[in-house]
Amino acid sequence: MSTAHTHLVSGWSLAAVGDVTRRACWSGTPSYFLEAANKAGWAMEPWRLDLSRFVGARRRWNLFQCLKGAGTGGYQYSEAFLSAAERSVPMALHATQVISFNQHFPRAATLAAAGGSVSYYIDATVASLSGGEGATVRLPPAKRTEALRQERDNFQRATRIVTMARWAAESAIHECGVPREKVFTILPGANLTLPDDWQFTCDERKPGRERPLVLGFVGKDWQRKGLPFLLEVRNVLARMNWKVVVRAVGNCPDELRQVEGLEYVGFIDKERDEGRLLRFLADCDLGCLFSKREPLGISTLEFLRVGVPVTGFGVEGLLDTLPPKAGLRFAPNSSPEEVALGIASVFSDDQARFAARESARALSPTVTWERCVREWGHLIAVGSVEPFQLWKAGRSEAAEPESV
């Protein structure tokens, strides 16, 4: 970052529900941002919230809620948690300019009272996560009402709202009432650090014919992220006489681990063995994320970072992370047969396969936290930003994303 930007970003701190220096905090997203920001010259202090201190309090709170007939769940949105969490962080941090990855913590009013301010950097609003079919955040009605009230209040008081994808920006505007001029979108980076001597490699034998086609899957929430659907796609391809395996990392139930065609790798701890994750990703032919609801799709960025094309349903944040030339995008009502045929059409054609792979490799330098932090620096310096848009990569600037 230039010297002109450095003084503009002094006195900042980074917050999330957890310790932002740890890879275990929200898939490592805050820690990668923090490292890139400090490398770029930001004087950014970390918020280190020790969640182990709240285990007992959470249980007692849920028990009390249950006894009074209010249902359970939603502790992290409660006054009890938010007040205690804010008190557990050094007060000096309250007076800084905070970037927070959480919609509720820290509260904008708390920071303002201490002379600080907050910009929220979010993948989705709680309003969108907790509403509609297939909601990923389920709260008792009264708690949802309170969570939405607090979210709106935080957003109104915040300096700015920065979303990771366009659909979340529209939610902030239309569901949370934030003025459009206060909402921006900046694509995050892949939660990976490539070594300095990184080189793209690939098994040049024809996938599906001379060797198995490897469909990669990453996800703790295996069901929501579409692992069962992907296995159906794999079975269709196998019936078409393709050699094909689904290689998965994250969580996987016992009943799926023995399914034919699934190679379950287990859980990989980024903090201790990031190199193993890099090898896993790079050895796949296609990164797959078939969620019906998906705020962004960090795993798609991780596959692109190592030069692997991606595929998934064109919904919510995936509309921004499935690039037209390095990705296959399917309508969310697509059948396994339709998806299998789409994949086969690319990987049975050498030219199409090579083009998709080369497009993914060309995008690798763009899906980094360094690029993300540069865009944040520009936004802070001049009040506006023209961010890199992955969904436009390979298109003319005037083009709209393909319909799904």
Give me the mean pLDDT over the 36-40 stretch: 96
Give the predicted TM-score (pTM) of the model: 0.93
Helix (H) or strand (E) holding 231: helix 227-239
Note the CATH number of domain 3-189+368-392. Answer: 3.40.50.2000
Check if the beta carbon of residue 230 is closer than 8 Å to that of residue 259. Answer: no
CATH superfamily of 213-366: Glycogen Phosphorylase B; (3.40.50.2000)
Q: Residue ranges per domain, the chain?
A: 3-189+368-392, 213-366
* Model pLDDT for residues 104-147, shown as the tens digit of each residue: 999 999 999 999 999 999 999 999 999 988 888 999 999 999 99
* Model pLDDT for residues 240-282, shown as the tens digit of each residue: 999 999 999 999 999 899 899 999 999 998 888 999 999 999 9
The reply to whether domains 3-189+368-392 and 213-366 share a CATH topology is yes
Say whether pLDDT at 299 is over 70: yes
Convert 89-124 to b/e letters by CB count within 10 Å (16 or more is b).
beeebbebbbbbbbbbbbbbebbeebebbbbbbbbb
Instruction: Measure the CA–CA gap between 270 and 171, rounded to whole angstroms.
Output: 31
Instruction: Measure the CA–CA gap between 67 and 321, rounded to whole angstroms.
Output: 44
* Model pLDDT for residues 195-215, shown as the tens digit of each residue: 999 999 888 899 999 999 999
Say whether pLDDT at 6 is over 50: no
Check if the beta carbon of residue 364 is closer than 8 Å to that of residue 305. Answer: yes
Say whether pLDDT at 304 is over 90: yes
